[in-house]
Chains A and B, each alone.
Chain A
């Protein structure tokens, strides 16, 4: 299967700072990338969908000014958590697909963010 690499795997930051998480498709071109968040003891919830070269589509309740998503190339999408607060501490995971409807989405290994 295709490989999606997410970096960093964990990060601790101070409240009020911004953190950038990268999601890379290593051996395929990802037309579409998805960002998910998982709170402790809960399942993964979709935050936003990004298509290369266009603005991300955010799910209801997700602040687009707080969670900045950039998908500038077919192999890289970034999620920036701006002005992070302790309540943003969570597990963030991305997935990438070639874009057509029946293609499999491949998941990164996730990033554990802790805001102190």
Chain B
């Protein structure tokens, strides 16, 4: 059974810092991995999707990497802003999606 773990569970940083969110998964037989953002009481916003054959994807200040063999992914956020405050979810897809518990990020002005 696939298990997805996200570390840390919560993170509070001052504005402007670069930060890394971690995601690990137990079964490397995945089709792709996706990072989402969820604001309180809201739905999911897809940030980045990495196919199993890819190593990383970039979008603006976000960079996600994938090491399928070791079962790890990281989401790097550069020059963090208060508007980045949200819960970040990692999901691995292999037919169905398995989500981590998320990292709740607070960026203080």
Interface residues of A (CB under 8 A from B): 1, 6, 34, 36, 42-46, 49, 91, 93, 95, 101-102, 104-105, 107-110, 112
Contacts and interface: CB of A to CB of B under 8 A. Distances in A.
A15 to B, nearest CB: 22
B95 A101 contact: yes
A110 B42 contact: yes
Given A93-B43, A102-B51, A112-B41, A44 B99 contact: yes
Given A43-B101, A95-B97, A107 B89 contact: no
A102 B29 CA distance: 12
A104 B100 contact: no
**Size class of the B contact interface (CB-based, 8 Å):** 20 to 34
B32 interface: yes
A110 B43 contact: yes
Interface string B17-46: 000000000000001101010000111101
Contacts of B41: 112
A108 B99 contact: no
27 contacts: A1-B46, A34-B97, A36-B97, A36-B99, A43-B89, A43-B101, A43-B102, A45-B99, A46-B96, A49-B95, A93-B43, A101-B31, A102-B31, A102-B32, A102-B51, A102-B52, A104-B32, A104-B34, A104-B93, A105-B93, A107-B43, A107-B44, A108-B43, A109-B43, A109-B44, A110-B42, A110-B44
B36 to A, nearest CB: 8
